Amino acid sequence: MRFTTKQLTLCALLAALALALSYVEGMFPAPLPLPGVKLGLANIVTLFALCALGAPYALAILLVRVLLGAMFAGNASALLYSLLGGLAALGVMALLVRAKRLSVYGVSIGGAAAHQCGQVAAAIVTLGSLAPLAYLPALLVVSVFTGALTGFVTGMLLGNRFLKNVAE
Amino acid sequence: MNRFPEQKPNRYDALVILVVLALALLCAARFWLAPTDGAAEVVVRADGAEIDRLPLADAERTYQNNGYTLRIAVTAESVRVTQADCPTQDCVHTGRISRQGQSIVCLPARIVITVEGTGAAPYDAIAG
């Protein structure tokens, strides 16, 4: 993968934006008293980067966001959760975008659901117990709504002519 | 390189939602249909290894693991985490659990509290 200066700048900006979004998100109380329930605002950046720049760029942005996020939070154990969640979301969304039939909503919801699965998988690995699976049904139902919300925002961003010009 | 998905939802999106909900249902069924087996007891695991096992009867216990402390209260019907020094307090917010197969998970302390039948466990512990 080669970066032009413009792409590098754009990726750095998007990574900073994703980092800021996940930080801001942490300042709001969780909408439900369930571990792992978040709006997934950083996923807006991942999906935007995936569509506007391509999967390798989205992956680079994701890795920077996850690593710096864990470093700023000073919480290495959270790294596995956001890494597995983020990678699962990006992987599923890359496949769904490739399918071409889905709108931005379907892709985003698929990504949000995959993110929850990835996080539950991380919890299963850390705990050495299948108990976290009990949270998955509720998390998946919530992800339909959060995914639709982030899909809506991403759709607006992708439809923005200025952003489109910048990305091309 | 640039593949912009449509901005209007279509029927294929509904398919994604259905798949996600079906997955949720499938996963939930696993817990609803878990067989109850004999009297219930409370099993506490830290890092996947059992550290305590006590009957559903009035008791208070304190556990420490991974630098965090949990206090649990057991009654004849249920068990709950009353106090935890973790930042998220998810385990405290989980509230009471009473049915066999239910569990309270504390991620920072890596402790899982499960209500199990005295017979076989509804699921096996797996290695990390």
**CATH architecture entry for A5-167:** Orthogonal Bundle (1.10)
Each residue's pLDDT tens digit, A125-143: 888 778 888 889 989 999 9
All residues of chain A having their beta carbon less than 8 Å from the beta carbon of residue B34 are: none
* CB contact residues (below 8 A), chain B span 37-76, against chain A: 45, 47-49
Separation of CA A22 from chain center: 10
Contact yes or no for A106/B80 (Cβ under 8 A): no
Chain B: residue whose CA lies nearest to A124 = B128
Of A107, A129, A159, the CB nearest to B125: A129
**What confidence tier does A32 reach under pLDDT thresholds 50, 70, 90?**
low
Taking the domains of chain A in order of start, what are their residue ranges?
5-167
What is the pLDDT, as a whole number, of residue A25?
83
Residue with tokens 């390189």: B1
**CA–CA distances in Å: residue A76 to residues A19, A29, A80, A119, B64:** 16, 22, 8, 15, 20
Residue B81 backbone dihedrals phi, psi, to 5 degrees: -90, 120
Separation in Å, CA of A114 to nearest CA in chain B: 9
Give chain B's domains with CATH numbers: 40-117 (2.60.320.10)
Chain B: residue whose CA lies nearest to A97 = B5
Chain B: residue whose CA lies nearest to A137 = B24
**Complex ipTM value:** 0.82
What is the pLDDT, as a whole number, of residue B1?
41
Of A33, A113, A135, the CB nearest to B93: A33
Each residue's pLDDT tens digit, B61-117: 899 888 889 898 998 888 989 988 887 788 888 888 888 878 888 888 888 898 887
